[in-house]
Amino acid sequence: MTNPVRDFPKALWACTIAEIIVFSIVGGVVYAYTGNQYMTAPAFGSLIPVYKKVAFSFMIPTIIFLGVLYASVSARFIFFRIFQNSRHRTEHTVTGWATWTAILRKSTSSRQSGRLAAIF
């Protein structure tokens, strides 16, 4: 990026829009052709329960990591928007840390609980 302050929001929007479009199209096409009767993960659908639990135990840390990564990038974008020309952006202040904590808490609580509940 030549100018990260100007280019980062564009890249974030482009990535998010592309992600939504691709995931929606793929999910819609797969669901349209298979229906909900045969919707199991190909790699895990035929495993016996013990191996299925082992396989999902490797998947849970990955899901948590990706959730935290997405939350962190989104929170950084929101934080920089809130404190564009403020000293809270570059200095360690109580207001800056409280805002950062609140943004992360809000973004991770809604994402992670939904994903983990879907697994179990």
Which tens digit of pLDDT belongs to each residue from 64-97? 888 778 888 888 888 999 998 889 888 899 999 9
Describe the crossing of helices 94-119 and 49-82 by its angle, rounded to 10 degrees: 150
pLDDT at 98: 94
What distances in angstroms separate CA 74 from CA 41, 48, 98, one per listed residue?
29, 38, 16
pLDDT tens readout for residues 5-58: 888 888 888 988 998 898 889 878 877 877 766 666 666 667 788 887 887 787
User: Which position has the higher pLDDT, 17 or 60?
Assistant: 17
Both structure tokens of 65: 């990591």
* Predicted structure pTM score: 0.48
pLDDT at 60: 81
